[in-house]
Structure 1
Amino acid sequence: MPLSHEHQLSLLTDILSNHKTDCCGSVSECEQVKRLAAALLGNQHIDSHVKTILTDIYTYSQNGINTNNLEEHITSHQDSLTQWVDGIHQFS
């Protein structure tokens, strides 16, 4: 059974919040974030403000997958992670 867009957003913000709190993550988490962002970007029920955030999250996850130092990548995006999670909660 596929996840609803509400559950997808919840899962996405949970992973991003963990990245923010732990300052670390895994490539598989970045791959999951990328898949969630891509699925949500294609959903007509998602607010346009959230889609703008999702585009940034997609890029973040793609770069995280390809980086040689994932912890540094996550640490360098601490402010963005907070803004993205807050923005999703505000508009969803």
Structure 2
Amino acid sequence: MPLNSQNQMQLLSDILSNHSTDCCGSVSECEQVERLVKSLMVNADIHENVKPVLQEIYQYSQSGISSSDLTNHITTNKQNLSQWVTDMNSYS
């Protein structure tokens, strides 16, 4: 069963919140974030104001996938992660 845009936004928010709270994650989570963002960016139901946030999250996921120290990458972006979740929740 495919996820609708609301489910995708919630899943993305959950993953980012977990990264922020736990300051750790996995490459597979970053890959999941990448797939979610790609899907949301082409969805006409997504508010235009959230698309720049999604672009930032996409860059975060790309950097995380290729990072040699994922925990440090997540820790470095802790403040961004919290802000992105807040921003996404304000438009969903």
TM-score for both structures, normalised by structure 2: 0.98
- Match status 1:82 vs 2:92: no
Give the 5 Å matches for 1:1-92: 1-92=1-92
Separation in structure 1 between the aligned mates of residue 50 and residue 35 of structure 2, nearest angstrom: 16
Percent identity over the alignment is 53
Residues of 1 paired with 2:3 and 2:47: CA distance? 18
Instruction: Tell me the CA shift for residue 49 of structure 1.
Output: 1.3
Unaligned runs of 5+ in 2: none
- Of the structure 1 ranges 48-57 and 14-23, higher mean CA displacement relative to structure 2 is found in 48-57
Residue by residue over 1:25-71, the C-alpha shift from the partner in whole angstroms, topping out at 9 and shown as x without a partner, is: 00000000000001000101101111110000001001000000000
Q: How many residues align?
A: 92
Structure 1: segments with no counterpart, 5+ residues = none
Question: What is the one-letter code of the residue matched to 1:86?
Answer: T
Matches of 2:38 and 2:63 in 1, distance apart? 14
SS in 2 for 1:2: coil
Q: TM-score, normalised by structure 1?
A: 0.98
Return structure 1 stretches of 4+ with deviation > 6 angstroms.
none
